[in-house]
């Protein structure tokens, strides 16, 4: 299935954003570890969170996280210290995403984990047991989800946990988010330099409300930047957010979108402040890279983006996916081995009716859909992939004036 998208020239809409899946998934783990009896308000209704809910509420020892990378990492750590015999698996793409760094760390702390397929990759067989804990060394350039998974179970270990992160630490805001939420549940860590110390301690159960998703907000910033005129109100966002992707409000100032925090969210308005070229290190906000790559190309703004180390091991190789799909729209992007992605203005002849492949990646669909504001006859292939994080994305676009026509045809 494909969606053919036609966009309005002016945007004037109010959006009830989805809850943050990053916060929701951490809250579910912390709730389980604290034995909290209260529910979680505004819990995300996306695929990634639903598989975690099913894991906690189901009675099966076989857990299928499907394409949810965060769920795979968090549940692997959680199950390793939860009594029982468990098998955790996922999609074929999930079985290509390495997890050996996390598994090796857990085994060194007392976990009993085996690979059921290719060494270093899911699926996993886990025999849950009490973990000793202790001291480990990890590269700071591993996925922050590995580090967050270890941090959340650290207080339950007999000796607690000391993590030494060597070299450059990527995605620092996600680690801070994890530690901030742990503190809300009663466990405080000590972070000095590249070392985080967590002592044995019991979590305290609390009622919890999840903030809306700043990553989802980024697509509305993109939409307003590409529209001729208009304004957008996004509900449920906080000025003191712990989400690293709240950086989007600052970054879009150079792309003509201004943010005003109001009582129940933010109000976005257009300005005339447009940069001549955009430079940014996305090491702390990797999930925003696709949004900005597409936005800059559509606005004819050359860019150089760095800090994209983790993009190659996401739902797809996002760097290669961006290069291939933006070429269909007439833009020649270049990348290098040291995680730089750039567009220097080089163009090619665009396709007349481009079909954007989504590669089982929700962010490919949502980052490219706004391109319809600048590109006619745009189609998105396999658009339902957005349910991974933003189930009502297409309905919200329709409310904003987009026309979306379903076409029963697939590429490839």
**Active site members:** 287
CA atoms within 13 A on the CB side of 122: 27
Q: Are 388 and 412 in contact (CB under 8 A)?
A: no
Going by C-alpha positions, the residue among 326, 220, 300, 297 that lies closest to residue 266 is 220
Helices (H) and strands (E) in the chain, counts: 12, 22
Q: Which alpha helices (H) appear in 264-399, and where do they start and end?
A: 289-298, 318-328, 362-368, 393-399
* Calpha distance 216→267 (Å, rounded): 15
Going by C-alpha positions, the residue among 316, 277, 291, 300 that lies closest to residue 370 is 291
Strand 62-64 with 84-89, pairing: parallel
Going by C-alpha positions, the residue among 279, 343, 284, 275 that lies closest to residue 308 is 284
Distance of CA 190 to CAs 143, 166, 185, 187, Å?
20, 17, 15, 10
Q: Which helix (H) or strand (E) holds 165?
A: strand 161-166
Q: What are phi and psi of 26, to 5 degrees?
A: -70, -40
């Amino acid at each position: 299935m494909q969606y053919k998208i036609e966009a309005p020239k002016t945007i004037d809409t109010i959006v009830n954003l989805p809850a943050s899946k990053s916060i929701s998934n951490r809250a579910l783990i912390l709730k389980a570890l604290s034995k909290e009896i209260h529910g979680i308000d505004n819990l995300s209704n996306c695929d990634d969170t639903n598989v975690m809910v099913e894991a906690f509420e189901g009675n099966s020892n076989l857990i299928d996280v499907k394409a949810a990378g965060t769920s795979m990492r968090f549940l692997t750590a959680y199950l390793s210290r939860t009594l029982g015999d468990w098998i955790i698996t996922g999609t074929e793409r999930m079985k290509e995403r390495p997890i050996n760094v996390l598994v090796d760390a857990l085994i060194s702390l007392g976990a009993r984990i085996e690979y059921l397929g290719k060494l270093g990759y899911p699926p996993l067989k886990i025999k849950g047991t009490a973990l000793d804990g202790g001291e480990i060394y990890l590269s700071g350039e591993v996925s922050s989800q590995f580090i967050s998974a270890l941090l959340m179970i650290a207080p339950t270990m007999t000796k607690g946990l000391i993590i030494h992160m060597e070299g450059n630490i990527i995605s620092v805001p996600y680690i801070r988010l994890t530690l901030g939420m742990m503190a809300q549940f009663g466990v405080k860590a000590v972070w000095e330099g590249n070392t985080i110390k967590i002592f044995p301690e019991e979590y305290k159960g609390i009622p919890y409300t999840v903030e809306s998703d700043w990553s989802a907000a980024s697509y509305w910033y993109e939409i307003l930047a590409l529209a001729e005129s208009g304004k957008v109100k996004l509900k449920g966002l906080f000025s003191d957010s712990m989400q690293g992707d709240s950086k989007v409000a600052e970054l879009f100032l150079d792309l003509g979108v201004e943010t005003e925090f109001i009582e129940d969210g933010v109000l976005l308005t257009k300005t005339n402040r447009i940069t001549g070229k955009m430079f940014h290190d996305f090491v702390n906000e990797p999930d925003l890279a696709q949004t900005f790559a597409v936005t800059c190309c559509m606005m004819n703004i050359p860019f150089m983006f760095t800090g994209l180390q983790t993009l190659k091991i996401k739902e797809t190789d996002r760097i290669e996916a961006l290069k291939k799909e933006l070429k269909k729209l007439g833009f020649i992007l270049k990348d290098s081995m040291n995680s730089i992605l750039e567009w220097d203005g080089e163009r090619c002849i665009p396709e007349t009716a481009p079909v954007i492949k989504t590669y089982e990646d929700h962010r490919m669909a949502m980052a490219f859909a706004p391109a319809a504001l600048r590109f006619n006859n745009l189609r998105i292939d396999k658009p339902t992939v957005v349910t991974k994080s933003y189930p009502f994305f297409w309905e919200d676009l329709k409310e904003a004036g987009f026309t979306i026509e379903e076409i029963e045809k697939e590429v490839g």
